[in-house]
Amino acid sequence: QMQLLQSGAEVKKPGASVTVSCRASGHSFTDDYIHWVRQAPGQGLEWMGWIMPKSGSKLSAQSFQGRVTMSRDTSINTAYMELHELNPDDTAFYYCARVSRSDRPFDTWGQGTLVTVSS
């Protein structure tokens, strides 16, 4: 059974960038989609985008276009999400999640990575 393990908490200053990693174990993730979802404190879930590790194809939500970079390293079963030009409103838990097909559910989630943006 697939598990997704994310990198640890980060504290960043406004204007900086942050990279969150998501390593898959127990199952090769090359044929899946890895999505990124964030949740600000006390708020709901916000979809950020996806990457297909096999092809490298990706798509980001319009609200993050130009500010998010998604990548992957298939040799170590790891996906990455880099968010640029951070501001305090980007303080949130960031989750990676697996989807086998676009209309299928997020059936596996990472544990979440807290990113705090503060001067």
Partner 1 sequence: SYVLTQPPSVSVAPGQTASITCGGIGVGGKSVHWYQQKPGQAPVLVIYSDRDRPSGIPDRFSGSNSRDTATLSISRVEAGDEADFYCQVWDYTNDHQVFGGGTRLTVL
Residues of this chain that bind partner 1 (CB under 8 A):
35, 37, 44-47, 50, 59, 61-62, 95, 99, 102-107, 109-112
Closer of 17 and 111 to partner 1 (Cβ): 111
CA dist., res. 92 & res. 40, Å (int): 4
**CA dihedral sign of residues 93, 96, 102, 106:** negative
Closer of 29 and 36 to partner 1 (Cβ): 36
What's the closest the beta carbon of residue 28 comes to partner 1, in angstroms? 21
What's the closest the beta carbon of residue 103 comes to partner 1, in angstroms? 5
What's the closest the beta carbon of residue 37 comes to partner 1, in angstroms? 8
Work out whether strand 18-25 and strand 3-6 pair parallel, antiparallel, or are unpaired.
antiparallel
**CA dihedral sign of residues 82, 62, 96, 46:** positive
